[in-house]
Structures are given as C-alpha cells and as structure tokens.
Copies of this chain bind each other. A is one copy, B any other.
C-alpha cells in the first residue's frame, strides 16, 4: 500500500500516480487514536507514541522517566493495531502482560484506529471536611439602571459608572474593552462587579447585562506535582458547587519537581511548555467544574502549590529554587489576571498565596491555615507527605517549617511492584497465619501503593521478617519462628530475598523496597527531629500531629509509628489524618479576605529551615534510618 500525502480524510486513494510530494508525507488518516478517560473520548490523528499522543490531547499517562522506557509506569492497553513490541518492552513487560496486550505508552504507536482506555486514579486527595469559614468576599456586585448617554449628557462610559460607584473607580484595559458593548446591549441596565484593591480602593472587573448580583463564583486550586484539584465555590455563601481533580498535565516532563525545573531551565521553550501544560490542566478542571456556571462570573481564584509549581505556573524561572543555594524569585502574595496566564476565565483574578521558602510552598501555608496551627496555644506538628515531605512545627507566635526530600517511594515509585493509589493497588496488609490483603476497589491486586507498603513493612517488622536495620531476613533464619504459610512466602537466595504478598498476580516486597521505605521514612523522621531540636522540645510535648494529603489520609497511623515515620513516643491518639488540608487552606483564602490577610502574616512569620543547615543533620539522619525496635 502506498503512502499518501498530507492529511487524507477519506479512506480511498484516488489512484493518483505517486508524485514528488507524495513521498514525503506520512499517512495520518488511518492513525486515529482515541483515549477514553472518565467516559470522555479524545481523539487525535498522528504518528507518535501513546504517551506523546495522550499529552497532545491534554491527558496524561503516568511517567517517571519522561518517556525513556525506564520506569514502566506508562503501561496501557491499546485496543487496535499497534507497532510490534520493542526490545525495551520485551525487557520491561512480563509475558503475561504482553499476552494481555499491555504496552509501554512511550514505546508503542498506533498502526490504525486504536482506542486507549486511561484508568481513573484515586485522584482525590481526601476531603478535609466541612468548610467553616464565614465568607468575606473581596468583591461586591452592584445593579445599576443608568440613564443612557444623550446629547446633553455626554459623560464617557466609565464616568457614567463613576457617578454611581464613586470617583476613584478604575478598571483595567480588558474590562474597559467590554464596557461599551455591555452597557449598550443591556440598555444601560447592568451589574458592575467591583473588587477591592490592595490599597483600599476598588477596581471594576466586570460589567454584565441585567441583574446578576446573585452569581459570584471562585475556584480554589491546589496544584500538586501529581494531582491538581479545583473547588468551585459560591463566593457569597461559601457553598461548594462542584469540584474536580486531574493529573497534572506536566507529567510527561517527569514525575518530580526537579525534572520539570530542569526542563524549564534547559530547553528554550521548556518554561513555556510546562506553563501551557499546567494551564491546560487548570482549564480542564474549570471546564469540569463550570458546567452550570457562566465562566464570566468566576471572579477569583486562589492557588496553593509548592514553590516550583508556583513558579512554573507564573512562568518565573524555577532555576534559583532548583540550584543551590535554593531561593525563590519571589515569595510574595501575588495577584495576576487569569487571562494573562492563559486561564480561560475572562474576568478572574488569581491570588497566589505566598510561599514560605524554596521547598516549603504555599501548599504548606494552606495546611497551616486549615489546621489553625498559627492560632494554637498547643505545640502542633503538620506533615504533608508527597515526593517531598513538607512539615511545620510550633504554635501561635513561633512556627518552624522544613522540607524533607523523601523521594517518590510513598507514591509507589521506585518500588518493584509499586503503583499509585489507584484501582487494584494493595493498600492494607496484615500478617497472621498467612497474609491478608486489601486493595483499592476490591479489585485483584495489580501492585502496591505507599500506604500498603508502610503497612507491609510495619507488619514485617512486627513479625521479625525485617530487623531494625532494615534487613529482610533469609528464610533459613526464620525457620520455626513464623507460621509455615508466611515462611513459604519468603523466596530467594543470598541477599535477594523477597516476601510474596500475592502469588497470582505476583506482588512481592523486596529487600530494595524495604530500603526505599527506610530511606523515605528516615528522611521524614529526620525532619521532624531537627525541627524538635530547633524548638528545644520532645516528641511527647507535641499535642497534635496532622498528616495531610492523600498519603497522610490513608496511612494506618499505627503502622506509621511502627516503621518510625514519626517519633514512636507520640501517642497514637494525637495523630490525625486531615486529608487535603492544603486545598482546604486555598478554599478558606478564596472565601475570606481576612484569611487571605492572615496568610500573608503567617508566611512572614514562619521560619523556613533548610534541613541540611542543622549542625547535627547527618547524625540525626543516620539515627532516623533505624526502624523502631519491634513492639510486636
């Protein structure tokens, strides 16, 4: 079959003799890939890897290695004709997987019409609970029935509004551009939306035909490295109208913030690509949320996120954050027009909550606001565990914060059968006479997620399969000390033993996995320990511990103590999962002017502490690596 030229939308070839241009084009017409995500179909005609094609339609396949065939996280099951398995796929995929048609998204490409289902992730970061904020909106809407301009009443349009709204009223160019048609299409009966300016004045942000005083919305965003969540709220009542979450569209450029910062720094258009990707995700969430709402009546957004997400969205250079000595371009609270960032809300302003430091961002500030640590008389600790573990310790008047680079192990990355917390992930493990497993969605196990691993390691510690130095003991050492069914699950030889959680499908915890967990939990523990030393307190003095984020929400608190993620002397009952507290902080700031002001005060008060600056850092870190002695 010969090659056509250009885009061919019909299936038949006109029989034209092959001309010079005919040899250069690709046959695009039959390479139609349709991604199915959340019931929505997105198609594209192009010859590229499924990973790349997904990116082009605004979806994401998970990827840690940026499409280099190394992480095997972009597995998918395309249905339809595809390119043959590559040598990399033969190496990375099991025979069973290959039989099922599983492919690496970065390797396989369509050969015809292909459908690719994208599995839904457990995207929700957990619900913080009810919002208990009294709305104090930053804006007011005023309905006006103006006298139209006339021969002897020739005020300019903005002066006509000022006659009712006050002499000082200004509006930016974008609003002025809408003014003349808005007034005239509605016969000068309009609703003006006025937003308070930082200096106590008001700015005209929108003029709408008719009386629309009842409609004023805002969206609180939590921009995570992995997941982005948006909450559409009624600014007057505080009621949640809708919420949506999506994978951060920057995934194709790496799972971690540093890969993305590198791309922005090293590629001429890198910053622009990453900004477009996150704005794309934000716009999808807006579309998801705003089905019943006029986007012109979304006036305000708040954004929390780590400092690199913050800089990438604003298209500030992330270089200074990524490279020692690790500083931001700005930590200030910023207000920017949504449209100036490419966000599809014509009248909205975006309030970026301030950053605390290079690695303690506005997300941590959100956690502090949501938990009220800054207003507490008790000593409190908040830990938000993602790829970095950001934490804050203190009470009213004195708060210290730091970031502990835990790595992605808690998110299932760099774990042999690790996976994100999506359907089929083992998320709870108990060892008795044999292994008992729970999976997300009660589906057959496909792998193990962070909370499952913490559980598994905690149980293995308790039963003596792992010692306090993190060694997974060989079966011969444990003969007679374990029930036979558990013993049988220890397989391997020499130094390469692993503990089989599930035989079919095969999911095991390896020695490497235990080491990864040990490093990750040790890093977090070290951070907490350094903050305690800096404040001169003991773990027993901490009255409450807030575990924020998805991981914090789903982790078994007892297991967290058992593996030494937190100092074991903290009583279990003082530990509390608080779900997406960062997002909650964003919601609170969206609704309340005084909480926004509080956020600025808190950001200035919190002392950002660079872990490695502590004189005893190495010592504390090494101590933190040990697993607590079994209390089994």
Q: Beyond A325-B151, A328-B157, A334-B173, is A180–B610 a contact (Cβ under 8 Å)? A: no
Contact: B316 with A180, CB < 8 Å? yes
Total identical chains: 2
A332 partner, pick from B158, B179, B181, B315, beta carbons under 8 A: B158
Is A173's CB under 8 angstroms from B20's CB? no
Assess whether A154 is in contact with B325, with CB atoms less than 8 Å apart: yes
Q: Cα distance A20–B10 when bound, in Å?
A: 14
Query: In chain A, residues 8-54, which have Cβ atoms closer than 8 Å to a Cβ of chain B?
Result: 14, 16-17, 19-22
In Å, the complex CA distance between A326 and B329 comes to: 48
Which residues does chain B contribute within 8 Å of A355, judged by CB atoms?
Answer: 156
Within A97-151, the residues touching B (CB, 8 Å) are: 149-151
A156 touches B329 (CB 8 A): yes
B154 touches A326 (CB 8 A): yes
For A327, what are the chain B residues with a Cβ–Cβ distance below 8 Å? 149, 154-157
A324 at the interface (CB under 8 A from B): yes
Among A14, A149, A152, A155, the most chain B Cβ lie within 10 Å of the Cβ of A149
Q: CA of A18 to CA of B327 in the docked complex: distance in angstroms?
A: 63
A184 at interface by CB-CB < 8 Å = yes
One of B21, B155, B314 near A5 (C-beta < 8 A):
B21
Q: Beyond A154-B610, A329-B158, is A149–B320 a contact (Cβ under 8 Å)?
A: yes
Q: How far is the CA of A158 from the CA of B330 in the complex (A)?
A: 6
Q: Within 8 Å CB of A170, what residues of B?
A: 332
Across the two chains, which residue of chain B brings its CB closest to A318? B180
What's the minimum C-beta distance from A23 to chain B, rounded to whole angstroms?
A: 11
Most interface-central of A151, A317, A326 (chain B CB within 10 A): A317
Measured in the bound complex, the distance between the Cα atoms of B19 and A357 in whole Å is 64
B317 engages A181 (CB within 8 Å): yes
Q: Is A176 a contact of B330 with CB atoms below 8 Å?
A: yes
Bitwise, A184-205 to B at CB < 8 A (1) or not (0) is 1000000000000001000000
Contact across chains for B150 and A325 when beta carbons are under 8 A apart: yes
Does A358 reach chain B (CB closer than 8 Å)? Answer: yes
Q: Which residue of B lies closest to A315 (CB)?
A: B177
Do A329 and B21 form a contact, CB below 8 Å, given A151-B610, A173-B334? no
Other 14 A-B pairs with CB < 8 A, given A152-B613, A158-B329, A177-B316: A16-B20, A154-B358, A154-B608, A156-B327, A157-B327, A159-B330, A170-B332, A173-B315, A173-B334, A173-B336, A179-B316, A179-B330, A180-B329, A181-B319
Question: Lowest 7 A-B CB distances belong to which pairs?
Answer: A180-B317, A156-B328, A158-B330, A149-B327, A16-B19, A157-B329, A151-B325
A residues contacting B by CB (< 8 A) are 5-6, 14, 16-17, 19-22, 149-159, 170, 173, 176-177, 179-181, 184, 199, 314-317, 319-320, 324-332, 334, 336, 340, 355, 357-358, 608, 610, 613
